[in-house]
Amino acid sequence: MCGIVGYIGTEEAAPVLLDGLDKLEYRGYDSAGIAVFDGEKIQVAKARGRLKVLNEMTHGGEKLPGNCGIGHTRWATHGIPSDKNAHPHFNETESIAVVHNGIIENYLKLKKLLQEKGYKFTSETDTEVVAHLLDYYYKGDPLEAIIRTMRRVDGSYALGIMFQEHPGKLFAVRKDSPLIAGKGKNGNLIASDVPAVLKYTRDVYFIQNEEIVCLEADELNFYNIDGEPIRKEAVTIQWDVSAAEKAGYEHFMLKEIYEQPKAVLDTLNPRIREGRIEIEELGMSDDEIRAIKKIYIVACGSAYHTGVSAKYVFEGLARIPVEVDLASEFRYRNPILDPETLLIVVSQSGETADTLAALREAKQRGVRTLGIVNVVGSSIAREADNVMYTWAGPEIAVATTKAYSTQLIAEYLLAMKFAQVKGTVSTAEMDEMIQELKQLPVHIEMLLDHKEKIQRFANRYIAAKDIFFIGRGIDYAISLEGSLKLKEISYIHSEAYPAGELKHGTISLIEEGTLVAAVLTQEELYKKMISNMVEVKTRGAFLLAVTNVGNTEVEKAADYVIYIPKTHKYFTNSLAVIPLQLFGYYVALGKGCDVDKPRNLAKSVTVE
Ligand code: M6R
């Protein structure tokens, strides 16, 4: 959570910082702050609430002159969202300023030690400990103070630091929280993520764990934790600035929903060659693939939902048992892992703390690991034995859509690759599946054309109290995602249930008019689903059905039907989820919710 930025150069720093924070607001948005150094004094402005409050308060940055500064947008962990707890934080003389993304795990112990030495704290944050510790170790050499501080703190951090005694310098350091440095024409920058610097440069350095960067207006120097200079190569970012902007859409979420045909195509294309699935980055020989006897798919939130879907595909096609786990559960349940196991972690950000911890746990226990990741160079991408990128491009909206869709594609491709190697699927069926995969972007495009119909339906439900999603098999996995999409942005209570399980308790919640969205794309479960729909309809439910085109019989049970184009039974999730994403979006829009930045959430969950 939280986003940090920093700038040093020839331009006024404050507007650059505010602009960068605007691109990082998806990472946290309960308060924001900047500190700007004019060469003599560090001035600070911070405010509870969205970035626009800070923007107005500083007149777009005009009130804080100076060419060097750091900024922060916060998702509160330690201490409530307030002006006092907002970053930057300072030492007592306000000569050292710090912004922080991450968590200092031993902050209570350090706070007590510092208090015993006479340090006074003004906030409830863990970050303030870093400012005082830097002060404690600072004897004129900033690098030394930073290194000694790093050796005392446990936990995760990306820090931006300014020392009043060193006007021409800005420092940053990381451990387990993302950090990049950018080399611009009129100055250099640091940030938690690439979009914050793209306006100024495409040449970025990915700062690795326990590396320190010292920025000056015209140079960047890198050091390891022993203070020794290290060389780093800049990476040129290929994607366009517009990829991280709304491009005329009202919300990032809608833009990203519309980017799905392209994202799916970009993820598929490089992996289908001459009618075969080729995944070079898997780094496994055919013998190694054949030796895998069990797969774990471990992830959080929507990424976990793709795993629930992929289990059916892997087991059905490659006949390998798959366990799907929530990362926060997996790591503490002592799972049975052996050398014939493959652990797949799925993550858009590549920084999710629980998923990263699960990956590390598996690696420590000698298990082969594969990351399905969207953000290039992220922690999971770097630490997994192999990484398969989902080429969704930057995803800004907190509610994932295009990353989810590309994760599904990556998992289908993997399952098909395993089936291809193991010979568990005939060539004819494989050919048919490849054709169906290639058609998915076209089908998604068609579904997007019906957005007005879904918007009209969604507008009827903006006052709903509860909405249920039901399905069987893969349709249950789709329901999980439909339900999460709706509730996370519209704040309407919603649950997803395996359709056959409802009558074991939850059906008592169905009242006259309760909306139940039934997903029925699996032909062999179609009749059973109709029975479950009738069960809730008799108890007063209003039924929305999402089913394959041609299944008109459903109209006898459903009050409203959305048809999706026919595809292979294992790929229906990729289509059925589209109207459900749109439904969630339009309900939230109709309610006037902040669609891209729902309350209490942040895009990248880097705390456990
Ligand atoms: O970055 P990750 O894919 O690891 O994030 C996992 C979840 O936090 C994420 O999918 C979350 O559930 C989304 N907000 C759902 O829209």
Tens of pLDDT, residue by residue over 335-370, are 999 999 999 999 999 999 999 999 999 999 999 999
Q: Which residues of 43-54 are buried (b: 16+ CB within 10 A; e: fewer)?
A: bbbbbbebbeeb
Task: Say what the pLDDT of residue 537 is.
Answer: 94
For the segment 93-116, what is each residue's pLDDT rounded down to a tens digit?
999 999 999 989 899 999 999 999
Q: Which residues are catalytic?
A: 2, 603
Query: What are the pLDDT digits (tens) for 505-548?
Result: 888 899 999 999 999 999 999 999 999 999 999 999 999 999 99
**So what's the pLDDT on residue 602?**
79
* CA–CA distance, 309 with 64 (Å, rounded to integer): 51
Q: Which of 121, 123, 110, 126 is nearest to 77 (CA)?
A: 126
Q: Which two tokens stand for residue 499?
A: 């359709």
Percent of the chain clearing pLDDT 90 (strictly above): 87
Q: Which residues contact 63 (CB under 8 A, 6 or more apart)?
A: 14, 45, 57
Residue 37 CA to ligand 1 centre (angstroms): 36
At 108-149, the pLDDT tens digits run: 999 999 999 999 999 999 999 999 999 999 999 999 999 999
Decide if 157 contacts 130 (C-beta within 8 A): yes
The confidence band for 216, taking pLDDT boundaries of 50, 70 and 90, is very high
The pLDDT score that the predictor gives to residue 534 is 93
Please tell me the predicted confidence (pLDDT) of residue 608: 75
Residue 324 scores a pLDDT above 70: yes
Q: Is 90 exceeded by the pLDDT of residue 78?
A: no
Is 12's pLDDT higher than 90? yes
Q: What's the rounded mean pLDDT across residues 50-61?
A: 94
The pLDDT of residue 390: 96
User: What is the pLDDT at residue 492?
Assistant: 97
Mean pLDDT of 25-51: 92
- 3 state DSSP class of 314: helix
Q: Whose CA is nearest to atom 12 of ligand 1?
A: 301
Strand ranges across the sheet with 542-548: 493-498, 466-471, 515-520, 542-548, 560-564
Centroid of ligand 1 to alpha carbon of 39 (angstroms): 41
**What tokens does 274 get?**
């001459």
Atom of ligand 1 lying closest to residue 348 CA: 3
Residues 6+ apart with CB under 8 A from 530: 520, 553, 554, 556, 557
Mean pLDDT of the chain: 94
What angle (nearest 5°) sits at the alpha carbon of residue 378, between those of residues 143 and 189?
45
Q: Is the minimum distance from the CB of 303 to ligand 1 under 6 angstroms?
A: yes
* pLDDT at residue 245 tops 80: no
Cis bond upstream, residue 321 (ω within 30): no
pLDDT above 90: residue 232: yes
pLDDT of residue 565: 97
| Predicted TM-score (pTM) of this structure | 0.82
What is the reported pLDDT for 26?
A: 83
Question: For residues 522 and 546, is the Cβ–Cβ distance under 8 A?
Answer: no
Say how many Å lie between the CA of residue 303 and the centre of ligand 1: 6
pLDDT of residue 241: 66
Residue where the block lists tokens 């994932």: 400
**Nearest protein Cα to ligand 1, atom 4:** 347
Q: What is the pLDDT of residue 604?
A: 76
Residue 502 has pLDDT above 90, yes or no: no
Handedness of CA 531, 536, 539, 542 (dihedral sign): negative
Among 605, 607, 608, say which to mutate for ligand 1: greatest number of ligand atoms within 8 Å of CB. 605
- The answer for 59, left when phi > 0, alpha when psi is -120 to 50, beta otherwise, is left
pLDDT at 25 over 90: no
CA of 68 to the centre of ligand 1 (A): 34
Instruction: Let me know: does 97 contact 79? Beta carbons within 8 Å.
Output: no
Q: Could you tell me if residue 79 is left (phi over 0), alpha (psi between -120 and 50 degrees) or otherwise beta?
A: left
pLDDT at 331: 84
